[in-house]
């Protein structure tokens, strides 16, 4: 396991990799225990492609990431995170909609989907910020709602008004 820290419009991001695959992208001030922990040796030169793709994303020229990922979690959490990866850039889903899209009953699974969403260790790349409340409200984001609002606003730039996310 190795890590580095890189700069972004959201502040410093901690990047962690296991065997060459991104296993964490942590925003400043993340509050959940699941995103804490030792990150291995510092290895700045092993994250060039991640930095390039993040720079392109924040510059508005990348809408999809193409990086090897290592999703570290339970089978259920990985199922939810794989569902997050299918939410297109500039779109959102409610927790219930995400539950339905991964084959669960929304009425009974929304909270579990929300809990798994909140344990996502690879923010931005695995776009947990694209999940909102059923009423369209911004809810739950480990690094704070202002950062979630920033990411959704960034992805909404240049889109016609009827496609604005919130």
Q: Tell me the β-bridge partners of 69.
A: 22
- Please state, as a whole number, how many other Cβ atoms lie within 10 Å of the Cβ of residue 103: 9
Q: Is 128 a catalytic residue?
A: yes
Quick one: which of 26, 49, 7, 3 has its CA closest to 142?
Answer: 26
Q: Which of 128, 131, 142, 152 is catalytic?
A: 128
Q: Among all residues, which ones are annotated catalytic?
A: 128
């Amino acid at each position: 396991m190795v890590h580095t820290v890189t700069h972004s419009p959201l502040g410093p991001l901690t990047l962690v990799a296991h065997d060459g695959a991104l296993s964490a992208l942590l925003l400043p001030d993340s509050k959940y225990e699941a995103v804490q922990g030792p990150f291995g040796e510092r290895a700045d030169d092993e994250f060039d492609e991640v930095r390039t793709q993040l720079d392109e994303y924040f510059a508005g020229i990348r809408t999809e990431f193409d990086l090897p990922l290592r999703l570290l979690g339970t089978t259920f959490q990985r199922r939810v995170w794989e569902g997050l990866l299918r939410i297109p850039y500039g779109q959102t889903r409610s927790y219930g909609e995400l539950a339905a899209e991964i084959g669960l009953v929304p009425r009974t699974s929304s909270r579990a989907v929300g809990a798994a969403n909140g344990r996502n260790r690879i923010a931005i790349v695995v776009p947990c910020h694209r999940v909102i409340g059923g009423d369209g409200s911004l809810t739950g984001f480990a690094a704070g709602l202002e950062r979630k609002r920033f990411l959704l606003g960034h992805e909404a730039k240049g889109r016609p008004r009827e496609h604005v996310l919130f």
